[in-house]
Structure 1
Amino acid sequence: MNNYKIYMIALGLAGMGLASCTADFLDVESKVESTTGNFYQTESDAYRALIGCYDGWQCTNSNPGNIGGFYMASELMADECFGGTGISDVGNYQVVDRFDQAQSPSELNIFEQDWISYYAAVYRCNELIAHEEQIAWNSEETRGTYMGECRALRALCYFDMVRLWGNIPLFTEPVNENRPQVEPDEVYNVIFNDLLYAAENIPASAYPKSDAANNDGHITQYAAKALLARVYLFYTGYYGKEPSVEGVTKASILQGLEDVIASGEYALVPQFKNLWPAASTWWEGNAASGYTQQSTYAGRGNEETVLAMKFNYTSDYNGNADGNRWLVNMGIRSINVYWTPYGRGWGACTVNPNMWMAYNTGDTRREASIINLVSEGIADDPNYENGYKDQRDYTGYTVKKYTTLSKWEQNESTGEWTLTDETTGLGSGGDYMISQYQDFVVMRYADVLLMAAELGSPNAQEYLNQVRQRAFTEEDEEGNLVLSTYYRQVSATQANIMNERRLEFAFEGQRYWDLLRQGVDYAASQIAGNTSVENGGNPGTVSITASNITNKQGLSQIPNNQITLSNGVLKQNAGW
């Protein structure tokens, strides 16, 4: 038997800044080298292997070369954002955004590192699953917890892959083989069964929210049940049929969501803006007294977070740089202005103006989700000119939920401003390209409520009301939270719930998949259109054709290099 070396790189989280807690389950040695001959014997070994699985999942977003991970691909394909970036950059984001290879004909491997990273993550999970029986488990509860988390991680990876590419090779054991693609149903069977295992075997008491300092980032029983609902809704919508997996029915999926709600583990953060660092952080003071950070951020692991992908602060390119690498892509292009709290970035995912106009008066989610470069004064600042002249697909709007932060300080004698922190504005030092560590929130409690409403819960109206009322909650003159006079109740119809999802989860990577599960033709009709933009300060147009989406059935390009390496075993998706 070959002794394969196993490298498990820890996700050591930075518990800094506003979120002062640490996630102990990821605080292990940065590298552990073992072989299959002396590993997978104890629960401790299993735990270390599980950390490697979490790291593999995180690497699908943090590895250099990824297009920006599943999140950015989801945003580019939706009707929320355009490709953006610089006018001289390659047009890979435009290819994804327009579903159009002609935007950059030579870009045939846009998703290659993503493909590699996902299969590497799946391999790690398969390694642990394959060796489960040789581990000396001290308790079935621990076994169910660790293996439930591992299977859920594998399910998450496959769910991303099957949505992106549709037809993919399936591996449920740790082997390196040149396998052909399988029917999506085979992949979904694994996804459903893995999540069912997690929901049934991770004890409800395994990672209580009351100890979020140590538990944040773990997949819980409740996260598994919520993820089951997300997979079920997409599968039944996109494929137009019920799953053939025993135990997966509309009633059982809804009951799982009701279990999450009844658990009392989660709640809506009272003000929407406090879910997001950039929307809830600012700096106060003056040159004489200095500037101090002010924030109402609810923090990492807050009561609304059901599952988050964790990233860590890092100070150098040491090979273990597990920062949120795609976040810098979302930052305002080449910003060179003390417009705190925002930092600089590459200007990807410029916001479609239709999103700004989609919110009703009084809906606090608009300003919490979108940076309006005009109304916030950035567009008029002369220091922003260079960024504006280099920006492609400029619309005057960019994403606020996920953006870089910064801190500037002014010299009292000279009046000059100096950038003192451009990681997330929550820590200090580091390289802003690799040191971003804002969580990516995979599942929020608001999503649980709206999915339960969509699936026909008897409490559907109440659940929808909770989400909408929070959106229209504001502070009065005394600082008390009150319901805005602009709030209007809407009935819990399918159309209203889907519209609420659009507003609630804007720029969270959910919109494209919500559109696609309502039908490819419908998704194409919502995404297609012509929008006036500016490219390097000059008038331009983003044109998206519905047929480009329908001809591809909403699927993405399989990397050409992978098809070549497979000696033709892999087949490209139609339309690409």
Structure 2
Amino acid sequence: MKKHRLLIAVLSCTLTFSTVTSCNDFLDAENISNSNETQQFDSTADTFTALIGVYNQVMGDDGYGQRLNLYFPQSADDFKTSGDFNCNDRRGLSTYGACTSNPDLNRPFLKLYSGIERANLAIKNIPLSQVYQTGSAADKKLMDRYLGEAYTLRAQFYYDLIKNWGDVPMQMVPSSDLETVYLPKTDRDIIYDKVLEDLSVASALVPWRSEAGGSNTRITKAAVKGLRARIALARAGYSLRREPRLMTQGSNPQVYYKIAYDECKDIIQSGQHGLNANFEAVFRALHDNTQDAANEVIYAAGAFGGNSRTDSKIGYYNGMRHDNASSWQSSGGINAIATYFYEFGKFDGRRDITVASIQINASNQAIPTTGVLSTDGKFRKSWTSITGSSQNLAIDWPMIRYSDILLMFAEADNELNGSPSAEAVNAVQQVRNRAYAGNIGQAGTIPTDKTGFFNYIVQERLLEFGGEGLRKYDLIRWNLLATKIAETKQKLAELQNGTGRYANVPSIIYYKITPYDRTRSAAAQISAMDYYVPAGVSKADVFYTPAPSTDPAGYLKANWRVAITADYISSPAKGYAQYFEANRKELFPIYDDIILSNYNLKQDYGY
């Protein structure tokens, strides 16, 4: 869709829970039609334009262009937002200390309901349209596809609402069809069950990738099934409930594990998607809006337009840092938690792509980061053709990858059978072997008992999806967020002190400035770095060998382990997840003005 630069459709401004003023401010887009609902859907072309209006609510600063994917998922045990605590900005979100007045909570909530409103209009009016009822078979098939896409997008919007705010109002018809817009909260399990039913319908309406044509920014059957599997696992898992205010598991979890199992197995058996042999290539393709060679990215949120509504700040706000005097200029606003680098084995090919332990200086050369300022590395402005101060880079966001399908399948299989089947073990092995390509002997052995296999998947998902916005929500549905935060704090203390598993981590990294070549792979650039290597030590062991007792001549110093301080771990301003409270902070508060606009809403969860 981005390739055709289609106009944004705005079908209605009857947003639930918002005032007329906030609605006008929010839907700052070109209205291409003043027609009524029926006329908006009286042809396949007009219907497609309306559908683009639904898709456009996925992207932008308030969607998967910045807040939903880069602000909201911090912090788990992989990444955190940079900077000092402020309850009224993104640092408040990252530290679990957000105020109810935090403006970053406002517009994403409204944007998701705007998307639901637009989807509701399509879902209502497509079956009523003249072209749907009396058009040709080809037109009917096309309109069915549009209907399936609208169902899927609505499900995605509700999933985003629930995973961040818990129980929310459920609205399944356009606002103009409601008796009142002052809706109360609906139990999330009811919403989940409804959208799972809708996705079952949608999967029969949309084509497989090979039948669809176009790019992966358009929903196909695998995208529908993958989202249904993800939501089913969330429904089977734990979440923070209103009454009593505790993390509890959803009812009848085996039913939902079976849904996830079946949907993932269908995708695997379809042969439509696979693992790209080159892990980095998966993310490089997102930078130039192309399909990766194996079609691993099943669905991506498409960014275009160079604006805050439909483009993204992926690669500018997050990703590897480029100095403001360099050719590229990007902020690197998400930092790897210092321990995350060491979760990867030294031969795991994902490490240097996922964790950028280098940055680009003012002279376009590569230098190391400190131990606390490594960034997420899957997105890099210098991997695009855009230079200068531009913030909107048209980098797509991976919503569902095939590796996620393999790991969800394995997880569901293990839960259903009480231990992993050979198919489940093989699914995980595929992901692991890709990570250790060229070093398969270092990949290790996958456990085959239920608990051991589950724990292995927990770790493997940490390594596979770092920086992709999944980890915090995985930990919540497993009821492991509090546990992993506590474990990470303990690991940080050990890393600070150089004890336990971190006994040989160097306090200082010694280096010489190295030329940067943006066409090199991440691994090749790290290999090219001019680090000081003590006698008898391989270059691969630089980050696993104590620093020499005296500074080697001719080398510069970068603080590595010594950069980790007590303040970094637990101070009020800089500490990691310092305001987290179990059975409360797993969810965000709803923005104050939204509560005030609907007398049937209240905060809950102790806010």
TM-score normalised according to structure 1 size: 0.74
Match of 2:351 in 1: 366
Match of 2:53 in 1: 52
Match of 1:489 in 2: 445
* % identical aligned pairs: 21
Q: CA RMSD in A?
A: 3.6
Q: Does 1:121 align with 2:109?
A: no
- Residue 173 and residue 336 in structure 1: after superposition, are their counterparts in 2 closer, same or farther (change >3 A)? same
- Residue 438 and residue 497 in structure 1: after superposition, are their counterparts in 2 closer, same or farther (change >3 A)? same
Superposed CA deviations along residues 505-536 of structure 1, whole A, max 9, x for unmatched, are 111111111111111543553465667799xx
For 1:200 and 1:485, locate their aligned partners in 2 and report how far apart those are by CA, in whole Å.
Answer: 43
Superposed CA deviations along residues 429-474 of structure 1, whole A, max 9, x for unmatched, are 786112x111100111111111111111540111111111100114
Q: Residue 61 of structure 1: CA displacement? A: 4.3
For 1:335 and 1:470, locate their aligned partners in 2 and report how far apart those are by CA, in whole Å.
Answer: 33
CA contact under 8 A between 2:276 and 2:293: conserved in structure 1? no
Q: Residue 34 of structure 1: CA displacement? A: 3.6
Q: Residue 180 of structure 1: CA displacement? A: 1.9
Q: Residue 208 of structure 1 aligns to which amino acid in structure 2?
A: S
Q: Residue 547 of structure 1: CA displacement? A: 7.5
CA contact under 8 A between 2:323 and 2:362: conserved in structure 1? no
Q: Write out aligned runs for 1:161-240 (5 A).
A: 161-175=161-175, 177-204=181-208, 207-208=209-210, 214-239=214-239
Unaligned runs of 5+ in 2: 10-29, 240-247, 414-420, 497-558, 571-575
**3-state SS of paired residue (2:478):** coil
Q: Does 1:349 align with 2:312?
A: no
Match of 1:469 in 2: 433
CA contact under 8 A between 1:236 and 1:243: conserved in structure 2? yes
- Residue 151 and residue 526 in structure 1: after superposition, are their counterparts in 2 closer, same or farther (change >3 A)? farther
**3-state SS of paired residue (1:100):** coil
TM-score normalised according to structure 2 size: 0.71
Unaligned runs of 5+ in 1: 1-10, 14-23, 282-294, 406-423, 475-482
Match of 2:377 in 1: 400
Q: Residue 538 of structure 1: CA displacement? A: 11
- Residue 300 and residue 323 in structure 1: after superposition, are their counterparts in 2 closer, same or farther (change >3 A)? farther
Q: Does 1:550 align with 2:552?
A: no
Match of 2:273 in 1: 266
Q: Does 1:450 align with 2:407?
A: yes
- Residue 332 and residue 252 in structure 1: after superposition, are their counterparts in 2 closer, same or farther (change >3 A)? closer
**3-state SS of paired residue (1:367):** helix
Q: Which moved more, 1:524-533 or 1:140-149?
A: 524-533
Q: Write out aligned runs for 1:5-44 (5 A).
A: 12-13=2-3, 27=6, 32-36=32-36, 38-44=39-45
Match of 1:329 in 2: 317
CA contact under 8 A between 1:516 and 1:523: conserved in structure 2? no
**3-state SS of paired residue (1:322):** coil
Superposed CA deviations along residues 65-114 of structure 1, whole A, max 9, x for unmatched, are x8x322123431322122214x698862221122124xxx6853331011
Match of 2:156 in 1: 156
Q: Does 1:564 align with 2:564?
A: no
CA contact under 8 A between 1:144 and 1:201: conserved in structure 2? yes
CA contact under 8 A between 1:60 and 1:118: conserved in structure 2? no
Higher strand share: 1
User: How many residues matched?
Assistant: 481
CA contact under 8 A between 1:524 and 1:546: conserved in structure 2? no
Match of 2:483 in 1: 522
For 1:357 and 1:538, locate their aligned partners in 2 and report how far apart those are by CA, in whole Å.
Answer: 14
Q: Which moved more, 1:51-60 or 1:26-35?
A: 26-35
CA contact under 8 A between 2:69 and 2:468: conserved in structure 1? yes
CA contact under 8 A between 1:84 and 1:93: conserved in structure 2? no
For 2:435 and 2:76, locate their aligned partners in 1 and report how far apart those are by CA, in whole Å.
Answer: 22
For 1:241 and 1:356, locate their aligned partners in 2 and report how far apart those are by CA, in whole Å.
Answer: 32
Q: Which moved more, 1:458-467 or 1:298-307?
A: 298-307
CA contact under 8 A between 2:324 and 2:330: conserved in structure 1? no
For 2:305 and 2:294, locate their aligned partners in 1 and report how far apart those are by CA, in whole Å.
Answer: 19
- Residue 34 and residue 109 in structure 1: after superposition, are their counterparts in 2 closer, same or farther (change >3 A)? same
For 2:154 and 2:109, locate their aligned partners in 1 and report how far apart those are by CA, in whole Å.
Answer: 14
For 2:221 and 2:276, locate their aligned partners in 1 and report how far apart those are by CA, in whole Å.
Answer: 21
Q: Residue 38 of structure 1: CA displacement? A: 2.6
Q: Quick one: which of 80, 84, 109 aligns to 2:82?
A: 84
Match of 2:519 in 1: none
Q: Residue 263 of structure 1: CA displacement? A: 0.9
Q: Residue 304 of structure 1 aligns to which amino acid in structure 2?
A: E
- Residue 441 and residue 174 in structure 1: after superposition, are their counterparts in 2 closer, same or farther (change >3 A)? same
Q: Residue 397 of structure 1: CA displacement? A: 0.6
For 2:164 and 2:8, locate their aligned partners in 1 and report how far apart those are by CA, in whole Å.
Answer: 34
**3-state SS of paired residue (1:276):** helix
